[in-house]
Structure 1
Amino acid sequence: LYIDSRPVTLKALLDSGCEQSLLDERVVERWKIPTTRLPTPLSVSSLDNKSLTTITHQTIPLRLMVSGNHSEMIKFFVFPSPQSPVVLGHSWLLQHNPSLDWRRKKILGWSPECAQKCLYSASPVGPPSPPTPPEEIDLTTVPHVYHDLS
């Protein structure tokens, strides 16, 4: 995140079960991020429909940089989430449709819309280029008995 043009590195959780994107309330307090009160508070419930809390505030638009080249302005709902200070929810995943390598915990690519709106110096999505074949070695000066060792 960029807060007052200062980069702040935070861990983010991709959560398709969370409808919106969230920012931990302690991050908001520590960095004095301005917020606005929601006209209608949002009730938050768990998967078993138990009430967790009510969200009453949202951040001002903040610059979010992901994977070094994916940049956007985003508002976060303020929520107690100390284990995952940034939660990128279902709406964010739908908008950006990232291609993920779950084992390596890396984003491999983005939606075609991201190439036009939020990517800077990005590599195109797709399979990697095949390796370049090795250069042909000139064996004319090497005795014939050694050619099988090349």
Structure 2
Amino acid sequence: LRQLPEPQRPEQSRRSLLEGPGSVTSLPNGLTLEVPITIDSGSNADFVGMQFIKQHRIALLPATLPLNVVTVDGRKLLGGQVVQQTPPMLLKIGNHREVISFNVTQLSDTPIVLGMSWLDRHSPSLAWYQRQLTFGSSYCAQHCIQIGQEEEGQEEGQQLHLGMVQAVPHKYKGFLEVFCEKEADQLPPHRPYDC
């Protein structure tokens, strides 16, 4: 019998199997940043690294609810509670877009981590071999913009506006026109009592 060569094994990586390119757009100023994103089913929340925030001078808000973060081995995070979050940002992964706020903490290897709450909400399908996500859940169909499913002829600004509408709290949905940049750049119609 002829001895077969031992099959080559792929290198083991310390990085998450679910890491890939994406981008975030700061909605207040429209700045778009290409960024690697890690999806971590061991994380209960969505995080952005403080170094990324400082590097790109992204304004922060107080966290809605402060978070106590515990590491994999049960230790509390060195920085203490997570007490800040980003304003709503437009997150793009492939053809998927959504508006999301991130909790701010110290991250070592990656600028953005999407956790189990994100996975539960979007329930993406994963082709493991290709490391490719597909967003086909009913949540995504109702709440997320997917490029290619939009009407042809829409401009980038219009698509961004659709994402921004999702960030408007429900109690203000009746006033959506004040959140539209096109409307905000125009004067109101002339009225009889105007000079």
Gaps of 5+ in 1: 124-150
**Which of the numbers 106, 116, 119 marks the counterpart of 2:132?**
106
Q: CA deviation at 1:105?
A: 1.5
Decide which structure has greater strand share. 1
1:66 match: 93
Name the counterpart of 2:25.
2
2:39 corresponds to: 14
Match of 1:145 in 2: none
Quote how far apart the aligned CAs of 1:40 are: 5.3
Which protein has the bigger helix share?
Answer: 2
Question: How many residues in Structure 1 have an aligned counterpart in Structure 2?
Answer: 122
Matches of 1:48 and 1:84 in 2, distance apart? 19
**4+ aligned runs moved over 4 Å, structure 1:** none
State how far apart, in whole Å, the 1-side matches of 2:118 and 2:85 are.
15
Match of 2:83 in 1: 56
User: What is the deviation of 1:5?
Assistant: 1.5
Distance 2:30 2:99 in 1: 12
Specify which structure has the bigger relative contact order, considering alpha-carbon pairs within 8 angstroms and separated by 6 or more residues: 1
State the distance in 2 between where 1:108 and 1:115 align.
12
SS of the residue corresponding to residue 113 of structure 1 reads helix
- Structure 2 stretches of 5 or more lacking a match? 1-23, 150-195
Deviations 1:63-119 (A, max 9, x none): 11111x211111100011131111001111111000011222211333122123213
Deviations 1:1-60 (A, max 9, x none): 012212211111111111110001111111111111236532211233111232121111
Secondary structure in 1 aligned to 2:90?
strand
1:27 matched to which residue of 2? Answer: 52
Moved more, 114-123 or 23-32: 114-123
Give 2:66's aligned residue. Answer: 41
Equivalent-residue separation in structure 2 for 1:95 and 1:81 (angstroms): 23
Partner SS for 1:44: coil
Corresponding position of 1:85: 111
CA-based RMSD of the aligned residues comes to 1.8
| Structure 1 contact 43–51 (Cα < 8 Å) conserved | yes
| TM-score normalised by structure 1 residue count | 0.73
